[in-house]
Structure 1
Amino acid sequence: MNIKRILSNAKGRSDAVAFNGMAFVVAYDPDAAHGIVAQTRNSLSFLETKLSEVDSGKDALLQVTVFLSDMSMKPEMDRVWCEWIGSEVNWPQRACVGADLGDDVTLIEITVIAAQSEN
C-alpha cells in the first residue's frame, strides 16, 4: 500500500494524504490572521500548497467542506472563495457549516477531496 502523508505540525495528524489517485487535504490559516477575509485567503494559499505537495490542484477539487466558527461570516468568505476558485470548470461540490473550531482565534477550516494528477 503506497500512502503519501504530508505531516502536520500538530502531533497525530497529517495536513494531506494521497492514495490511489485521490488527495485528502485540510487547510487553515497557519498565521491565524485577524478577520475572516485574511484567514480565508491564507487558508486557500495553504490549501494550494498542500494540494501541490500531493500532485493535485484546485482544478482537481471534487468535494469541499468549509467550516466557519460563525456563519454570519459566510458572505465575506464566499467573496474570497469565488475570487480564488475562478472559472466554473474548477467548481467542486461544496458545503459550508458552522462549527466550534476549538478556540476564539480560528475562524475557518477547509477539508477537501481532490483527484491527483495523472503524471
Structure 2
Amino acid sequence: MSIERYETKARMSRAVVHNGTAYFCGQVAEDRNADITHQTQTMLAKVDALLESVGSDRQHLLSATIYLKDMSLFAEMNAVWDNWVPEGFAPARACVQAQMASPELLVEISVVAAIREPLKKDELMA
C-alpha cells in the first residue's frame, strides 16, 4: 500500500495520494481582502492547479467541503461554484459556517479527487 505525500511540512502535506485518490489541504483566496466572489474564484483556481498537478481535474472530484465565514455569503459563493463545476460532475459536498484561521478570509475549501490517470512520481506536484 503506497501513500505519497507532497510538499510535506511539520503540520500538513499539501496533497496526499493513496490508492488512486488525492486528498488536498484547505485552499483559500489569493487576495484575502477581496470580496466573496473574487475569493471564491481565486480559491477554485488554486484547486484547478492542484488537481492538474496530480493528474486529475474537475470531472474527477469526489467530495468538497466548503467553509464560509458567514452563511449570508452562501448565494454569492454558490454563483461562482455553480459556474466552476462541470455539469453532471458535481461532487458530494458540504458547506458549513466556520470561524476562519484569519479574520479577512471569507471562504476555504478542501477537496478529494480521483486520479484520472497514473502519473510517475516525478510528474506529480511538479
Structure 1 partner of 2:123: none
Higher strand fraction (1 or 2): 1
Indicate the RMSD between aligned Cα atoms, in angstroms: 1.7
> TM-score, normalising length from structure 1?
0.88
Alignment of 1:4-23 (within 5 A): 4-7=4-7, 12-23=11-22
* Larger of the two Rg values belongs to structure: 2
* Identity value in percent: 36
> TM-score, normalising length from structure 2?
0.83
- Secondary structure, aligned partner of 1:80: helix
- Asked if the contact 2:100–2:106 (Cα under 8 Å) also holds between the matched residues in 1, the reply is yes
Structure 2 partner of 1:43: 43
Indicate how the Cα distance of structure 1 residues 69 and 44 shifts in structure 2: closer, same or farther if over 3 A, else same.
same
1:107 equivalenced with 2:106 (yes/no)? yes
Tell me which stretches of 4 or more aligned residues in structure 1 moved more than 6 Å. Answer: none
- Asked if the contact 2:56–2:117 (Cα under 8 Å) also holds between the matched residues in 1, the reply is no
Could you list the runs of 5+ residues in structure 2 that have no partner in the other structure? 119-126
Deviation at 1:17, TM superposition (A): 1.3
Question: For each residue in 1:2-33, what CA deviation from the matched residue of structure 2 results, as whole angstroms up to 9, or x when unmatched?
Answer: 3332327x752222211110011132113324
Structure 1 partner of 2:92: 93
Aligned residues: 117
